[in-house]
Amino acid sequence: MKRASLILVIAALLLAAPVLQGFSQAQVASAQDPIKLVFWNYWDGTNGEKIQELVDRYNEEHPEVEIENVFVGWGELLPKLQLAVAGGDAPDLAAADMVWMPALANSGALVPLNSFIEASGTDTSDFYPALLSVNTYNDQIYGLPVSTNNLELFINTDLFEAAGLDASTPPTTWDELAADAAQCANPDNGVVGMELYTQPGEGLTWQFQVYLWGAGGDFLSEDLTQAAFNSEAGLKALNFWLSLIDSGAYTLSDWGLFGQGQACMVLDGSWMVGGMAESAPFNWTTAAMPAPADGQPATNMGGEHAFIMAQDEAKQQAAWDFINWLTSTDVQIEWDEATAFMPVRDSVATNEAYVTWINENEPRLLPFVDMQQYAHNRPPVEQYSELSDVFSAMIERALYGQMDPQEALDAAEAAVNSLLS
Amino acid sequence: MTAMARVRAGWQHANRRGDVSAAAMALAPAVILFAIFNIYPLIYSGYLSVMEWDGFSPDKSYVGLDNYRALYESATFRNALSVTLKYTLSVAVLGVAVSLVIAVLLNSGVRGQNIYRLVYFLPVVTSTVAAAVVWRYLMTPGTGYADVFLRDLGITPPNPTWLRNPTWALRIVMLVGIWKRLGFNIVIYLAGLQNIPKEFYEAATVDGAGIWARFRHITVPLISPITLLLVIMSIIDSFLIFDVVYVMTDGGPIGTTEVVGLLLYREAFRYFNLGTASAMGWVIFALVFAITLVQWKFFGTREAGL
């Protein structure tokens, strides 16, 4: 029995050790120590390197603060935030997908920024209103945009040439797009003409919205209380996708064909430009996304917004100071040049040095910069994720011929309206 | 002193000292961990399943059985249950049957048995997500090995492509599920096969029984307790399928691979409906519990002898 009690004592000591250690560290901590902040975001690759560099520099210039930059994958960020809030272990600040912002702002887990914005005299009118609107809930601003992007046409010039097409005269209408795609597709080698995103979920919805807006439609009513996509424009957009499938210009398939050199064209984001310039094993260029001949130019915007979750007031202030710095014009220009994100502020987009830099370094970004003015915003409603899933599930049924297009739009409208009611 | 007597003496010794607390101490870590990580979440999710909660806010509101009623009425959930059942039964029945055949072949004295065992067991110790990514890569349209191989044979790959094809997607997911468990089943079967006395086979051979008759009338009945164990384990594991589907198909196309685990994940972590998600969890728990009980009741006791 002696041995048993000895083992128990040792076990108890081992278990207690971290607690004791933590206690003594807390004792040592004093007022001069920097305020430690934990910053979660999902930027990776070039973007991840740049945010790390910016955080490091900020830490160096501000010895009173120590920000720890933590990468959390896009798919894990929301679940982890949720668990962290429930466990009282939330990060002090984070940057997340703009499409989650209404739900986050509504959750009560974010710190309203109005008083900080006023105190530091930040001019929020310089941010694009469509971006700022997703963070605004009950007249309070809960986050600031850090980066944005939009979707335009990517063209594989090698495949274009092989099919006898010229990428320097890209399609400018839906009809031209359909014709070029049909001519370029090569079913024998599994090459599609125009890649569509046809897996259910937000990927499908946010691509489809570009066609919907291009045809002159809208996704939700202006007051965001009901679906608006079940319209002539919605039907036109859906029929256009179906015509691409029927003509063999697109084969229902996993997303990602363009990156593998298996698609002539794709609608994709400005964030692809940097990585593809480095590593795509084929020649490619970009162009503005065509609209129908009687439609209007349109695209969808995405991006990340930074917000504060810290409970402690000193930490809230320190987190705000960092966000205010990160979203300032000068830092934004540096950030956009390194990451190929689109400007979130007018003062960046019109900055002469920035525009010159793009022209000289990566003219393939120009269609994105030009089209940012036509970028729509996904409806800032709390239920957006679920709404997007049920919408895309119905569109998918139409694409697989399980429902006719009108039937699918009716069903999607009913499902979306019941979520919004 | 025989081993048994020594153990008994040890127990008496312990009891004489009245030191039950030592036993309690020894068991405590396992019991505490089980309580924290299994019992507590179970009870808590039962509580959440009758509440409405977004996972963030401090307020939860009581909604009674509304969450369960909504599931009962939801066509999506019914579809998910049926997909999950289809997947589970296929993996349990086919997976166990195939592994029995392979185990018998391996047991019949094939050369290089250890290499085969290794090959079949590798998937078991591979991370499921990594394996699913590789399978997805194999099935990539156009450039994936499956497509390239078929084209070389002059066969046109399916349209829509594999994982986007309503006929093929679930089959491929099932194949991965079976392939992943195969090695585990085989190892357990091999251990069981060693325990069947050689005399039975020798006697049957003398009586003129062929390979099939010996397999059918000796191997299958004598190995059946292990079959039962493997089927139950396969059913429990397969019912909780999530990772393979999440990586390979995300439930598509048109819901043909949308399993309950995936719906649960979406409700909890994408739509912030913790109540609905917990109710789903309890439905799965009740189903697996019931299936397991039935299996033990009807098949378990009969074979308990071995």
Chain A: residue whose CA lies nearest to B142: A190
pLDDT of A23 = 46
A418 CB within 8 Å of a chain B CB: no
ipTM value, please give it. Answer: 0.76
Q: How near does any CA of chain B get to the CA of A84, in Å? A: 9
Q: Which of A8-17, A89-98, A310-319 has the lowest mean pLDDT?
A: A8-17
On chain A, the residues whose CB falls within 8 A of the CB of B41 are: none
Confidence of residue A320 (pLDDT cuts 50, 70, 90): very high
CATH class name, domain A34-148+302-375: alpha beta
> Are the Cβ atoms of A86 and B55 closer than 8 angstroms?
yes
Mean pLDDT of chain A, nearest integer? 90
User: Which of B141, B251, B272 is closest, CB to CB, to A253?
Assistant: B141
A383 CB within 8 Å of a chain B CB: yes
User: Which of A109, A254, A393 is closest, CB to CB, to B163?
Assistant: A254
B292 Cβ neighbours under 8 A, 6+ residues apart: B232, B235, B236
Average pLDDT of the segment spanning A28-57: 87
pLDDT of A103 = 84
Q: How near does any CA of chain A get to the CA of B218, in Å? A: 48
| Alpha-helical segments (H) within A222-328 | 232-246, 271-279, 313-326
pLDDT of A129 = 86
Chain A: residue whose CA lies nearest to B140: A254
Query: How many Å apart are CA A274 and CA A281, to the nearest integer?
Result: 14
pLDDT of A112 = 95
On chain A, the residues whose CB falls within 8 A of the CB of B14 are: none
- Packed helices B169-194 and B220-239: angle between N→C axes, nearest 10 degrees: 140
On chain B, the residues whose CB falls within 8 A of the CB of A386 are: 266, 270-271
Segment B261-289, tens digit of pLDDT: 999 999 988 888 899 999 999 999 999 89
| Alpha-helical segments (H) within A127-247 | 129-133, 157-162, 174-184, 202-214, 232-246
Most A-contacting residue of B45, B52, B269, B274 (CB-CB within 10 A), to test interface: B269
Chain A: residue whose CA lies nearest to B166: A400
User: Which of B55, B157, B251 is closest, CB to CB, to A82?
Assistant: B55
Domains A34-148+302-375 and A150-301+378-420 are alike in CATH topology: yes
Q: How near does any CA of chain A get to the CA of B34, in Å? A: 18
Helix (H) and strand (E) counts in chain A? 18, 11
Q: How near does any CA of chain B get to the CA of A55, in Å? A: 28
On chain A, the residues whose CB falls within 8 A of the CB of B251 are: 200
Most B-contacting residue of A253, A388, A403, A420 (CB-CB within 10 A), to test interface: A253
> Are the Cβ atoms of A190 and B147 closer than 8 angstroms?
yes
- Tell which wins on pLDDT, B6 or A179: A179
User: Which of B163, B165, B254 is closest, CB to CB, to A397?
Assistant: B254
Most B-contacting residue of A76, A252, A258, A282 (CB-CB within 10 A), to test interface: A252
> One digit per residue, pLDDT tens: chain B, 306 residues?
455 566 555 555 555 555 788 888 889 999 999 989 989 999 999 999 999 888 777 788 899 899 999 999 999 999 999 999 999 999 999 999 999 999 999 888 788 888 888 899 999 999 999 999 999 999 988 888 998 899 889 888 888 989 999 999 999 999 999 999 999 999 999 999 988 888 888 898 888 888 888 898 899 999 998 998 899 889 989 998 999 999 999 887 999 999 999 999 999 888 888 999 999 999 999 998 998 888 777 765 555 444
A311 CB within 8 Å of a chain B CB: no
DSSP run (H or E) holding A358: helix A352-361
Q: What percent of chain A has pLDDT over 70?
A: 92
DSSP state of A269: E
DSSP state of A112: P
> Are the Cβ atoms of B142 and A254 closer than 8 angstroms?
no
pLDDT of A189 = 84
Segment A242-259, tens digit of pLDDT: 999 999 999 999 899 999
Q: Does residue A26 surpass a pLDDT of 90?
A: no
> Are the Cβ atoms of A190 and B271 closer than 8 angstroms?
no
Average pLDDT of the segment spanning A50-64: 96
On chain A, the residues whose CB falls within 8 A of the CB of B160 are: 251-253, 400
SS3 sequence of chain B: CCHHHHHHHHHHHHHHCCCHHHHHHHHHHHHHHHHHHHHHHHHHHHHHCCEECCCCCCCCEECCCHHHHHHHHCHHHHHHHHHHHHHHHHHHHHHHHHHHHHHHHHHCCCCCHHHHHHHHHHHHHCCHHHHHHHHHHHCCCCCCHHHHHHHHCCCCCCCCCHHHCCCCHHHHHHHHHHHHHHHHHHHHHHHHHHCCCHHHHHHHHHCCCCHHHHHHHHHHHHHHHHHHHHHHHHHHHHHCCCHHHHHHCCCCCCCCCCCHHHHHHHHHHCCCCHHHHHHHHHHHHHHHHHHHHHHHHHHHHHHCCC
> Are the Cβ atoms of B141 and A4 closer than 8 angstroms?
no
Chain B: residue whose CA lies nearest to A188: B156
User: Which of B142, B165, B255 is closest, CB to CB, to A189?
Assistant: B142
Segment B186-243, tens digit of pLDDT: 999 999 998 888 888 889 888 888 888 889 889 999 999 899 889 988 998 999 899 9
pLDDT of B305 = 43
Interface of B with A (CB under 8 A): 17, 19, 22, 25, 54-58, 136, 140-143, 147, 157, 159-161, 163-166, 250-255, 266, 268-272
> Are the Cβ atoms of A260 and B142 closer than 8 angstroms?
yes
pLDDT of A121 = 93
Per DSSP, which regions of A313-384 are E strands? 375-376
Structural domain boundaries in chain A: 34-148+302-375, 150-301+378-420
pLDDT of B17 = 56
Q: Which of A110-119, A224-233, A244-253, A376-385 has the lowest mean pLDDT?
A: A376-385
**C-beta separation of A44 from A274 below 8 A:** no
A189 CB within 8 Å of a chain B CB: yes
Q: Does residue A19 surpass a pLDDT of 70?
A: no
Average pLDDT of the segment spanning A59-76: 94
Segment A198-246, tens digit of pLDDT: 998 899 999 999 999 999 999 999 999 999 999 999 999 999 999 999 9
Burial class (CB in 10 A: 0-12, 13-18, 19+), B183: buried
Q: Which of A26-35, A175-184, A262-271, B38-47 has the lowest mean pLDDT?
A: A26-35
What three-state secondary structure class fits A351?
A: coil
Third-level CATH fold of A150-301+378-420: D-Maltodextrin-Binding Protein; domain 2 (3.40.190)
> Are the Cβ atoms of A257 and B54 closer than 8 angstroms?
no
